[in-house]
Amino acid sequence: MVLKIYGTKTSTCTKRVLAVLYEKKAGLLHPFGKVPVLEDDGFVLFESRAIANYIARKFAGQGTPLLPADDDVKARALFDRLQAASLEAFYYDPAVSTLVTEKVFKKGYLETFEKYPHVEKWFAGLLALKSW
C-alpha cells in the first residue's frame, strides 16, 4: 500500500511524518526513500530531473519549450550529460568520497605522522587551539 502525503518540505510536521514513514519503510515509491515521486495513472517515476523531463515531454505542446529538440543531437547529448552528472554528484560521489577518505587519505595521514613525528605534534597543537 502506498500512502500519499501532502505538505511543504520545510514544515517540521511534514518532516516528522516523512521520518516515520522512512523508518518504517512504509509506502516508499522511491528506492532510496526520498521525495519527490510522481505517480501518473499508475506510472511511478522518481528523481526530480526525470520527473521534470517527463512533464516537459508529456506537455510538450503547451507553454514554454523546456527541452532540446530530439533531432538536435548535440544539444540533446549535452542535456543528457548534465542529467547523468547530477545523478553521480548526489548518489555515487558521496559514498565513494567517504570510502576514498577512509581507505586512501587517512592511511596517508597516518603514514605521515609515523614517518614525521614532528608533524603529528604540530597538528595536535593546531587541534588544541581555541576555535573561533
Helix 106-115 vs helix 117-128: crossing angle, to nearest 10:
110
pTM passes above 0.85: no
Indicate whether 47 belongs to any domain.
no
Indicate whether 24 belongs to any domain.
no
Asked whether the bond before 36 is cis by omega within 30 degrees of 0, the reply is yes
Indicate whether 51 belongs to any domain.
no
- Residues with Cβ within 8 Å of 34's Cβ and at least 6 positions away in sequence, in order, are 46
Domain hosting residue 116, numbered range: 69-132
For the chain, how many structural domains are there in total?
A: 1
The helix (H) or strand (E) run that includes residue 45 is: strand 43-46
CB under 8 A, 24+ apart: contacts of 97-106: none
Indicate whether 31 belongs to any domain.
no
Indicate whether 111 belongs to any domain.
yes
For residue range 39-95, list pLDDT tens digits in order.
888 888 877 778 788 888 888 888 888 888 889 999 888 888 887 776 666 666 677
pLDDT of residue 74: 93
Helix ranges restricted to H, the chain: 12-24, 48-58, 73-87, 93-100, 106-115, 117-128
Res 1 pLDDT > 60: no
